[in-house]
Amino acid sequence: MAIRTILTKGEPALNKVCHPVTKFDDKLADLLDDLKETLAQANGLGLAAPQVGILRRAVIVVNEEGEMLELVNPEIIAREGEQDGLEGCLSVPGMWGYVKRPAWVRVKAQDRKGNWFEVEGSDITARCFCHELSHLDGHLYTELCDKLYTNEDLDRMMEEQEDQE
């Protein structure tokens, strides 16, 4: 296993449509292991293969139980409701923005052996599924935000909110 470099906004790999995974071999297993290790070190909630420069449809999502889910060739097959909340991305470090996402989604994906399964998530997990899957089509959440905030902006907003209370 190895920690891979996370690409940041502006790198062409982040704007490419990724190819389906067709070989469920050791190379895929290594990629998934590396994505997990890289994600753990970065302390994030999700990581997609293109974020480490690999244009394949594979992502890791951390669910509410703290488990790292491996999703190969994932697709959202059902969605319900809406939520609006702050989102960040390891490829856009130090920035945050409000993004509308479904409140709940069901995802169909393959595991590292090629077996299909379904998984669902609400709240932050639904947000994370949507965010990671859009990386596979070359999209960043920043395309969906009117405005981006820095950590300092957020601190200031929190203080102002506390002052009002």
Point out the residues that are catalytic: 132
Q: Which is nearer to Zn ion, 24 or 98 (CB)?
A: 98
Q: Taking the complex as a whole, how short is the minimal distance between the CB of residue 98 and Zn ion, in angstroms?
A: 15
Q: Does 133 bind Zn ion (CB under 5 A)?
A: no
Beta carbon of residue 89, minimum distance to Zn ion (angstroms, whole number): 3
Instruction: Tell me the window of 1-9, 89-97, 105-113, 154-162 that interacts with Zn ion (CB under 5 A).
Output: 89-97
Position among 14, 49, 54, 89 found at the interface with Zn ion (CB under 5 A): 89
Decide: 131 and 89 in contact? Cβ < 8 Å. yes
State which residue, 72 or 90, has the beta carbon closest to Zn ion. Answer: 90
Position closest to Zn ion via CB: 89
Cβ neighbours of 25 (radius 10 Å): 11
Nearer to Zn ion, 25 or 123 (CB): 123
Q: Measured between alpha carbons, how far is residue 81 from residues 84, 129, 144 in Å? A: 11, 15, 18
Burial 101-130 (b: 16+ CB within 10 A, else e): bbebbbbebbebeeeeeebebeebbbbbbb
Contacts to Zn ion by CB under 5 A: 89
